[in-house]
Every structure is written in structure tokens, then in C-alpha cells.
Amino acid sequence: MLKISKIDTETEQRLILEGRLANPWIADLDSHWKETRYAHSERDFLVDLRGVVRIDNAGECALAMMKAEGARFLASGIRMKHLVQNLEANAQENHCTDNGTHPT
């Protein structure tokens, strides 16, 4: 399960993710991303990953797409910080599609 919380300020939009960033919840994340990001594209966008306990390939692809569109990330733990630092390489390695998802 993935819990998604939103915090909006005048200068920043933040998505707080908690739980498993994996299928089938990637569609929910994508919906929240589009709704939040495109409503106020002039604001900074931050994705808080500190509550995420697991990420599959589709989750990595979703994060890579978000990063390509300007998102910044908060992460804790060695593995999560490493994943965030290498999102572009991970997207290519995992064969993400143009829309940020992993092919099924």
C-alpha cells in the first residue's frame, strides 16, 4: 500500500510518500503527480521519500519521470539516497518507457 499526502504552500508543492512505491500504486502516484504538478507549475516540487519502505522498477521509473520534469527529492538511508542520485541511469537500465512507466 502507498499513502500519498500533499502539502501546498505559495512557493512549494510537496508529495509525501509512505509505504510501498510499487505496482499497482504507481497509477495513483502518477495521478497525484499530474494533478499537483500541473496545477501550479511555477512552484518548486518536492517528493518526500523518507517513509517509503520498498520501490520496484515501476516505482523507479515513476521517480525518474518526475525528476526529468523538475522534481527534487528528500530521502533517508543509504539505498534510497543512492537511488535518488542515480535516477537517470536507473531509468535507462530498467528500460522505462517515455511516459515514465516500466513496460509490462
Q: Does domain 2-93 bear CATH number 3.30.750.24?
A: yes
CB 5 within 8 A of CB 15: yes
Where does the pLDDT of residue 104 fall: very low under 50, low under 70, confident under 90, or very high at 90 and above? very low
17's enclosing H/E stretch is strand 12-21
Residue 42 CB coordination number (10 Å): 5
Sheet with 2-8, side-by-side order of all strands = 2-8, 12-21, 44-55, 72-74
24-38: pLDDT as tens digits = 999 999 999 988 888
60-71: pLDDT as tens digits = 999 999 998 889
* Closest C-alpha to 29, from 64, 77, 75: 64
Domain ranges of the chain: 2-93
- What's this model's pTM, rounded to 2 decimal places? 0.83
